[in-house]
């Protein structure tokens, strides 16, 4: 019989790249967060050891949809948690690997709007086929937990380390007034701003706020 | 020569650079030296940013304080909001557990804050470190103006057990030292409405700013003096915004350091008072 530690080892060995974290929160339970693109490999790893898919739960968390694949492996519950950004909530099907997934994926699709690529039998599970396209009963607004009013401040503070960066017009006016175009703030110095960004990353705030570091914007629909 | 690390914050460089200029002139006249705080960030904002996340707010504040500590200088602040945020953070950083938690984060970017410096409002520095008599000695142009003093909510924040009127009274005495008359009214302690404007602009204009301006206009003040750029923005942009509701006002508003610079004889042109959106030129004309 596999112990919890052996299950952790199994995951670490077989899906080293996409395994984001793995913990044993209590006896007979292992919980792993994985990248969406390794869901098939992760499911196969467990299924090859005789695991059974119990259920896939979909939770709309505002900016992302959490998919929780619950497996039973020799009496232990193994949960694979996948975060799908709501910009493109797509993931490969596992229905061809385990038939239990077929209806569970259909349920997550119709209730939360997840698209399961290459699903063998897409369609509604319990809801009417006449439901207007894009209607997902358990879907929530595409926004973080931050109040709407705080969004712009949060975005500016993360991006430039200030609530009000200097506009180009103000830079010109400052120079005309005999001041340097910018104060010695972090946004006027690349290495200082880099340090501020690293500090913000360390607090985990940017993740909670749903900040997209590439686009330098908060994710989600703005008010 | 006493030296301070000047924390400019976000709003002064962007909206009120004239206060930045005036600070240099006033400090220079009084024999005080200013050091720049290279790489500082938002304090962060006392209302909005601090609601976001305690750790990110405290670590940004502590990072700012570590910059001044690295220079071995106390911080001087020109904004009530920045003052409250940095002062509070400084107090939190004297507590072992919080200091350890935040310093662990700072260490990841190569910084540490030991809590060895003080955060001072410009009002405190001018009143306590310079003194009213020394200020009066610098006044070249006594201002025969009737001025409303808007203290600003955060100026009342004080250490437990201390007099919350300590800094507001100091502020009034500094205005009086210029030769101006401080006109008191029953709306002095009403918030200008800047914080609520983020949530409900109409409410902030009609229920905070409007009653204040109506009262000041009724009393016939020559202008409003503030020690916070956010209050200044609210008084100036707010007067323009109130025109949407058919309420017209034309009351100048300026920062204490600008008032002092004018009283110390600095030519108004050198202060670039045109950054203001209220008729400060009207007030300057009265000074002559």
| Residue B85 tokens, joined | 């945020």
Cβ pair A164:B63 closer than 8 A: no
Pairing of strands B119-121, A19-26: unpaired
Residue B127 belongs to a domain: no
Q: Is the pLDDT of residue A216 over 90?
A: yes
In this prediction, residue A80 carries a pLDDT of 98
Residue B126 belongs to a domain: no
Cβ pair A203:B55 closer than 8 A: yes
Best residue of B41, B55, B200, B230 to probe chain A, by most A CBs closer than 10 Å: B41
What percent of chain A shows pLDDT beyond 90? 83
Range of the domain at B163: 132-287
- Contact (CB, 8 A) for B78 and B22: no
Q: Which of B101, B121, B141 is the last residue of a domain?
A: B121
Q: Which of B97, B121, B145 is the last residue of a domain?
A: B121
In this prediction, residue B106 carries a pLDDT of 98
Q: Are residue B139 and residue B279 in the same domain, yes or no?
A: yes
A164 contacts on B by Cβ (under 8 Å) = 10-11, 14-15
Candidate from A140-154, B10-24, B43-57, B161-175 with smallest mean pLDDT: B43-57
Q: Is the pLDDT of residue B49 over 80?
A: no
Q: Are residue B91 and residue B18 in the same domain, yes or no?
A: yes
Cβ pair B21:A199 closer than 8 A: no
Q: Averaged over B85-99, what is the pLDDT?
A: 93
The beta strand positions in A13-89, using DSSP E, are 19-26, 29-34, 52-60, 64-73, 76-85
Q: What is the pLDDT of residues B178-229, one digit of tens each?
A: 999 999 999 999 999 998 898 899 999 999 999 999 999 999 999 999 999 9
- Contact (CB, 8 A) for A186 and A192: yes
Q: Are residue B102 and residue B201 in the same domain, yes or no?
A: no
Query: Superfamily assignment of A4-117 in CATH?
Result: NADH:ubiquinone oxidoreductase Nqo5 subunit (3.30.460.80)
Cβ pair B45:A184 closer than 8 A: no
In this prediction, residue A133 carries a pLDDT of 86
What is the C-alpha separation between A78 and A52, in angstroms, rounded?
10
Q: For B157, phi and psi rounded to 5 degrees?
A: -65, 130
What percent of chain B shows pLDDT beyond 90? 91
Any B CB within 8 A of A196 CB: yes
Cβ pair A199:B51 closer than 8 A: no
Instruction: List Cβ<8 Å contacts ≥24 apart for B182-186.
Output: B182/B147, B182/B148, B182/B149, B183/B146, B183/B147, B183/B148, B183/B219, B183/B221, B184/B149, B185/B148, B185/B215, B185/B216, B185/B219, B186/B215
Q: How many domains does chain B contain in total?
A: 2
Any B CB within 8 A of A169 CB: no
Pairing of strands A217-218, A211-212: antiparallel
Q: Are residue B174 and residue B200 in the same domain, yes or no?
A: yes
Q: Are residue B154 and residue B274 in the same domain, yes or no?
A: yes
What percent of chain A shows pLDDT beyond 70? 99
Q: What is the pLDDT of residues A102-157, one digit of tens each?
A: 999 999 999 999 999 999 999 899 999 888 888 999 999 998 888 887 888 889 99
CATH at B42? 1.20.1050.140
Q: What is the pLDDT of residues A18-40, one digit of tens each?
A: 999 999 999 999 999 999 999 99
Q: Are residue B278 and residue B136 in the same domain, yes or no?
A: yes
Any A CB within 8 A of B200 CB: no
Q: Are residue B87 and residue B142 in the same domain, yes or no?
A: no
Cβ pair B52:A166 closer than 8 A: no
What is the C-alpha separation between B137 and B29, in angstroms, rounded?
10
CATH at B277? 3.40.50.11810
Q: Are residue B259 and residue B278 in the same domain, yes or no?
A: yes
CA angle, residues A20, A25, A27, in degrees to nearest 5: 130
What percent of chain B shows pLDDT beyond 70? 99
> How many C-beta atoms lie closer than 10 Å to residue A219's C-beta?
18
Q: Averaged over B114-123, what is the pLDDT?
A: 97
In this prediction, residue B33 carries a pLDDT of 98
What is the C-alpha separation between A79 and B60, in angstroms, rounded?
36
Q: Is the pLDDT of residue A97 over 70?
A: yes
Report residue B139 CA to chain centroid gap: 21
Quote the ipTM score. Answer: 0.92
Q: Are residue B55 and residue B167 in the same domain, yes or no?
A: no
Q: Where in chain A is the domain with CATH 3.30.460.80?
A: 4-117
| Residue B161 tokens, joined | 């057990």
Q: Are residue B38 and residue B113 in the same domain, yes or no?
A: yes
Q: Are residue B239 and residue B213 in the same domain, yes or no?
A: yes
A218 contacts on B by Cβ (under 8 Å) = none
- Write the residue in B39, B42, B105 that is nearest to A157 by C-beta: B42
Sequence-ordered list of residues with C-beta below 8 angstroms from that of B123, at least 6 positions apart, any chain = B155, B167, B170, B171, B174, B227, B256
Q: Are residue B116 and residue B161 in the same domain, yes or no?
A: no
Q: What is the pLDDT of residues B64-82, one digit of tens each?
A: 999 999 999 999 999 999 9
In this prediction, residue A223 carries a pLDDT of 59
């Amino acid at each position: 019989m596999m112990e919890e530690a052996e299950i952790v080892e199994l995951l670490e060995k077989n899906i080293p790249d996409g395994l984001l974290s793995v913990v044993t929160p209590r006896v007979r339970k292992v919980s792993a967060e994985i990248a969406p693109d390794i869901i098939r490999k992760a499911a196969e790893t467990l299924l090859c050891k005789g695991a059974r898919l119990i259920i896939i739960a979909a939770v709309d968390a505002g900016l992302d949809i959490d998919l929780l694949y619950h497996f039973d492996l020799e009496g232990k519950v193994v949960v694979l948690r996948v975060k799908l950004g709501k910009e493109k909530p797509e993931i490969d099907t596992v229905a061809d690997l385990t038939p239990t997934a077929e209806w569970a994926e259909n349920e997550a699709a119709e209730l939360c709007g997840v698209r399961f690529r290459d699903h063998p039998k897409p369609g509604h599970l319990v809801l009417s086929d006449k439901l207007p396209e894009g209607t997902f009963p358990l879907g929530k607004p595409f926004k973080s937990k931050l109040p709407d009013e705080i969004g712009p401040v949060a975005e500016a503070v993360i991006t430039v380390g200030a609530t009000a960066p200097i506009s180009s017009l103000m830079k010109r006016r400052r120079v005309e007034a005999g001041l340097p175009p910018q104060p010695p703030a972090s946004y006027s110095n690349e290495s200082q701003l880099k340090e501020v960004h690293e500090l913000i990353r360390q607090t985990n705030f940017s993740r909670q706020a749903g900040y997209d570091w590439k686009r330098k914007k908060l994710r989600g629909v703005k008010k | 020569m006493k030296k301070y690390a000047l924390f400019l914050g976000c709003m002064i460089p962007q909206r009120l650079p004239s206060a930045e200029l005036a600070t240099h002139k006033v400090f220079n006249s009084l024999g005080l030296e200013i050091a720049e705080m290279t790489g500082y960030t938002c304090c962060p904002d006392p209302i909005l940013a601090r609601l976001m996340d305690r750790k990110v707010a405290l670590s940004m504040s502590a990072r700012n304080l570590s910059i001044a500590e690295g220079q071995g200088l106390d911080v001087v602040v020109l904004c009530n909001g920045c003052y409250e945020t940095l002062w509070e953070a400084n107090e939190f950083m004297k507590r072992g557990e919080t200091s350890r938690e935040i310093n662990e984060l700072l260490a990841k970017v190569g910084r540490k804050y030991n809590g060895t410096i003080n955060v001072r409002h410009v009002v405190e520095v001018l009143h306590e470190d310079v003194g009213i008599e020394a200020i009066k000695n610098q006044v070249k142009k006594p201002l025969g103006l009737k001025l409303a003093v808007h203290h600003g909510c955060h100026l009342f924040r004080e250490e437990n057990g201390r007099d919350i009127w300590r800094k507001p009274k100091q502020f009034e005495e500094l205005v009086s030292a210029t030769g101006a008359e401080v006109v008191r009214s029953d709306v002095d302690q009403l918030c200008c409405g800047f914080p609520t404007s983020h949530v409900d602009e109409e409410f902030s204009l009609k229920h905070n700013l409007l009653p204040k301006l109506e009262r000041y206009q009724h009393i016939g003040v020559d202008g409003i003096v503030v020690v916070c750029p956010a209050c200044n923005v609210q008084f100036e942009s707010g007067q323009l915004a109130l025109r949407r509701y058919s309420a017209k006002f034309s009351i100048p508003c300026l920062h204490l350091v600008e008032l002092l610079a004018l009283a110390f004889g600095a030519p108004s042109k050198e202060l670039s008072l045109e950054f203001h959106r209220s008729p400060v030129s009207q007030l300057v004309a009265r000074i002559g």
